[in-house]
Amino acid sequence: MKGLFTALMVSYDKDGEINEKGLREIIRYNLDVTKVDGLYVNGSTGENFMISTEEKKEIFRIVKDEVKDRVKLIAQVGSINLKESLELAKYATDLGYDALSAVTPFYYKFDFEEIKNYYNTIINSVDNKMIIYSIPFLTGVNISIDQFAELFENEKIIGVKFTAGDFYLLERMRKTFPDKLLYAGFDEMLLSAAVLGVDGAIGSTFNVNGQRAREIYELANKGEITKAREIQHETNDFITELLNNGLYQTLKEILKEKGVDAGYCRQPMKELTEEKVEVAKTMAAKYF
């Protein structure tokens, strides 16, 4: 389960319906062109928090059907509707997903006992493994090192997707949990996380920029920091433009420039203006 995982985009049509053909094209692009080690399905990048349970299942099914066993698959099943998480955990496990992941429950300011019960309930209900999805800047949920230690008492909880810029905490986690899987979640900080010894990374930008991410990660692991830093600089020039123009919409537009039917984002996310579509096209030509 080590390595680089794309946080998979999903193609939606203008009416917000899943475009199965487009989704399959995005998957194949990730397998054949960006060449990542695995896919992280129904995360933030899949616009997961704006779709129904049935749509989540359909995406899990299409991804598994397209990928078969070519790369590892992680199913993000987190929801503040715990019953939905349990249903999705069983569904993805029955399909053969290699691991599950769940975002920390958000919105109601759940206390740690409730968060711990959420993870144990999900993962103890199936024969699978759990990767905690920690993204404090979107959820408002911060987990301390002692709390991670308590969660890891359950051996089925095997790691964390760490989408945060707290490198002190990341370093402490590496030292304290050498046998747990730590994945970097911010692509613009991949080099710094790799230097600290993460086991891999999960990122939205890998849908198009997976090859540069691979170079950064491998150079860092070989100790070739100067070269890795150059590629991180180039990557961050790209990511800065991406964030300014509209993250997911621009990634989809770039995929379209590469011949992939990546579709539109699900409302309430808005479409790019014509001007921003032009910016995305220029970025595609400049970086890919």
CA distance 31 to 24: 11
- Count Cβ atoms below 10 Å from residue 241 Cβ, excluding itself: 16
Q: Coil, strand or helix: which one is 10? A: coil
Q: Which of 161, 180, 252, 256 is catalytic?
A: 161
101 has binding-site annotation: no
Nearer to ligand NGF, 155 or 265 (CB): 265
DSSP-based three-state secondary structure for 249: helix
Residue closer to ligand NGF (CB basis): 191 or 239: 239
Q: Is 91 annotated as catalytic?
A: no
List residues near ligand NGF by CB under 6 A. Answer: 7, 40, 43-45, 163, 185-188, 202-205, 239, 247
Considering the candidates 91, 97, 118, 133, report the single residue annotated as catalytic: 133
Q: What angle do CA 206, 47, 164 make, to 5 degrees?
A: 60
Task: Please check if 204 is assigned to a binding site.
Answer: yes
Q: What is the chain's Cα-based Rg?
A: 18
Residue 133 known to be catalytic: yes
Tokens of 29: 């692009």
Judge whether 192 is annotated as a binding position.
Answer: no
> What's the min distance (Å) between Cβ of 158 and ligand NGF?
17
Residue 63 is inside which H or E element, if any? helix 53-67
Provide the CA 155 distance to its chain's centre, in angstroms. Answer: 22
Angle between helices 206-221 and 225-245 (to 10 degrees): 160
199 assigned ligand-binding residue: no
166 is in an annotated binding site: no
d(CA 141, CA 160): 14
Going by C-alpha positions, the residue among 138, 91, 86 that lies closest to residue 102 is 86
- Residue 263 annotated in ligand binding: no
**Dist CA 249 CA 266 (whole Å):** 10
Place of tokens 């099914």: 61
Catalytic residue positions, numbered: 133, 161
Known binding residues for aceneuramate are: 44-45, 163, 185, 187-188, 204
